[in-house]
Structures are given as structure tokens and as C-alpha cells.
Amino acid sequence: MEIAPQKYKAPEIYGDHWFNAEPLPISAQKGSVILLVFWDLTCQQCKRGFPYVKEWFRRYSDIGLIIIGVHTPKFPFEKDPIYVEKAIRQNEINYPVVMDNEYFIHTAYRVRTVPSHFIIDKSGFIRYIQEGEGSYAATESSIQSLLKDAGYYGDFPFVMEPVRDEDRPGIPFYRATPEILVGYQHSNIGNTEGYFPQAINFYTDPGIYLEGRVYLHGNWFINKYFVKLENEEAAEGYITFVYNAKEVGVVLNPEGEKGFQVFVSQDGNFLTQGNAGKDIKFDDDGKSFLIIDEPKLFHVVNNHEHGEHNLKLVSRSNGFAFYGASFVPAPIQELIS
């Protein structure tokens, strides 16, 4: 763990909406240590870090640490304060959160990925940056060091134990498929029919897939941020893709109709209790499905091991809007001593 010298002054924070606190200008917090947590509600890696940030808030907020979550929305529905506030309550986040709908804070801090953690010292200088998931022990050690520098001389607790075994420092991971985003501003539809911005087109599943692409079957409307099923007479349509990972999450939104089903299969078979994500349900015949009643990140697959698989999402509802998929790798157990 290495703390940077006092070189870069922390930019001021100008946000759209605050939760759990009145606005907290950086310039008014001299003498305190500030942890800025850049995150997004549809980011799997961000959610995996919640237990650590919430525990740091519990441990250190009374001795000089101020935590501010900066929510930088990836999709339009995440710009709604009601939606964000509901998610904050569901995830039991009690520290202050500011909405950064126009990416003013994100740009000022030159954030390249979420999650990212920035620690600001008592004099308002950025002293530590963690980009991406992980390094939780190093981040907490930096918090303790800067709190001591700010004048706290009590005893600190031991750095918290990893929430997951794979969070331990130095654990090697398999390569996971990068996040897949659709919509005409991205080039991730693999069908030969290509893109038709703001239009409906019929797509045919080619049966041959490249990693990092999604493949459509049926009539689909292509929006800037999503693709939406537009079949007549409730005909079946689907999205399929291959991936390398252990876990899969998909961002879906009920555009118009709500409460419909999306059936999920992997490698030609419905999911089981052994590989289903937490949002999967099962009908009486054992078919695995999702209920799409609100826009969010749905956790659909949690395999026992890392591997290559084909995932298929099937629905008859024209409310079925798909925004993207993200993936979580598994540690390489053979290389862990």
C-alpha cells in the first residue's frame, strides 16, 4: 500500500441530487478524510464492494472519515432520483450519495472505470486511487493512515477479513468476457443483418457465435441504449451469446408491459438450483425464468466453476428490453497456495 504525495487538489463536487445528507462541498471538509466511491447501480463489481464500504462507514465515520458515494448512471433510467433512492434503501446504504447525472464529478476526477475509490486527505489533496474492484485491504489501510495523519491517535481495528476468498490480495483470476453493451452506439450485435438505428428489423440466429457479441432472433427495435422485442401476436423472440466467466448478470427493463417472464437456458438446458443466479425462479416443470417488473441488473447465472457457456434469454413480451450483460471471473484455484 502506497499513499501518493500531496500533488493533486481534489476538485469540488457539484451534483444533481443528494441522499442521506445535505450537499457536502470538498472545500468545507478540511480536517477530515474523504472517501469518494464512484459506482453505478447496474454494475456487478460495484455491488460486490458494498459490504466493504458500508463497514468502513460504520468503523470510521465517527473518527473523521466522510464517505460520499458518487452515482454515475450508465443508462437513462438510472437518472431518476426515485429509482436511485429506492436502490439505496434496498442495499441499506447509509452514507451520503450524490447523483452525477451529467458526469461533471466523473469528468473532474478523470474516472476511467467504476467502481473507483478516491481518498482525499485532511488538506483536500487526492492521496490514494483504486480503479476497479479489489484491493480492499490496501484501501482500508490507506484510510487508517490518513486518519492518523489527520489527528486520530486511538487504536484502529484490524483490517476487515475478506468477504469472499477471492478478495484476498494476490489471488489470480481467469480472464472473463468483457461487459457487452448493445444499442446503436455500440457495435456488439453479431447478426449479419447489422444495425438499424431507431427502427425495427427481423433478425435470424446464425447459429455461430463470437465471444463479446449478442445474437438476436425475431423482430427487434434498436434504440441508442437497448434492443427491444417487437414481434407480432406475442411470438417468441430471443437473445443469445457465448461467454467465459463464472457469474453472469444482465440489465433488463420492462419497456411498457411489466411482470412478464424471460426464460433462461445455458448450453441448451434450463438452469438448476446449482447454477442459477439469485434472481432466477423455477416453474412447476423446472423451467428457469426471470420476472421483469422493474429495470435493474438481474443475477442470472452462478456456475460452480469458470468456463465457456452459451446463454439464451427467451420471451414473448414486447416489453422485453435488453441493455447489456456483465461477467464475473473465478479465481484460478490451481495457482493459489
Write down the pLDDT at residue 81: 94
Q: How far is it, in rounded angstroms, from Cα 177 to Cα 131?
A: 19
Question: Which CATH number is associated with domain 8-165?
Answer: 3.40.30.10
Residue limits of CATH 3.40.30.10 in the chain: 8-165
Q: Determine contact, residues 45/157, Cβ cutoff 8 Å.
A: no
CA distance 208 to 73: 33
Instruction: Give the pairing of strands 215-222 and 200-203.
Output: antiparallel
* CATH class of the region 180-335: mainly beta
**Each residue's pLDDT tens digit, 147-172:** 999 888 889 999 999 988 888 888 88
Residue-averaged pLDDT of the chain: 92
**Strand partners for 313:** 239, 264
Q: Which tops the pLDDT comparison, 233 or 162?
A: 162
**C-alpha span between 110 and 69 (Å, rounded):** 16
Cell 446449482 belongs to residue: 274
pLDDT score recorded for residue 336: 66
* Contacts with 162 (C-beta within 8 Å, 6 or more apart), sequence order: 136, 137, 168
Its sign, for the CA torsion 44, 46, 47, 51, is positive
Q: Which three cell numbers stand for residue 119?
A: 481518498
Residue 337 is predicted with a pLDDT of 60
Answer yes or no: is pLDDT of 226 > 90: yes
pLDDT in tens, 281-291: 999 999 999 99
| pLDDT surpassing 80 at residue 334 | no
Give percent above pLDDT 70 in the chain: 98
With a cut of 80, say whether residue 7 has pLDDT above it: no
Q: Return the HEC string of 119-177.
A: EECCCCEEEEEEECCCCHHHHHHHHHHHHHHCCCCCCCCCCCCCCCHHHCCCCCECCCC
Q: Where in the chain is the domain with CATH 2.60.120.260?
A: 180-335
pLDDT at 56: 97
Q: Is the dihedral of CA 201, 207, 209, 214 positive or negative?
A: positive
Residue 1 has a pLDDT of: 47
Residue 139 CA to residue 202 CA, distance in Å, equals: 49
- 40 three-state secondary structure: coil
Q: What pLDDT is attached to residue 335? A: 67
% of the chain at pLDDT higher than 90: 79
- Burial tier of 162 (Cβ tally within 10 Å: 0-12, 13-18, 19+): middle
pLDDT tens for 94-144 read: 999 999 999 999 999 999 999 999 999 999 999 999 998 888 999 999 999
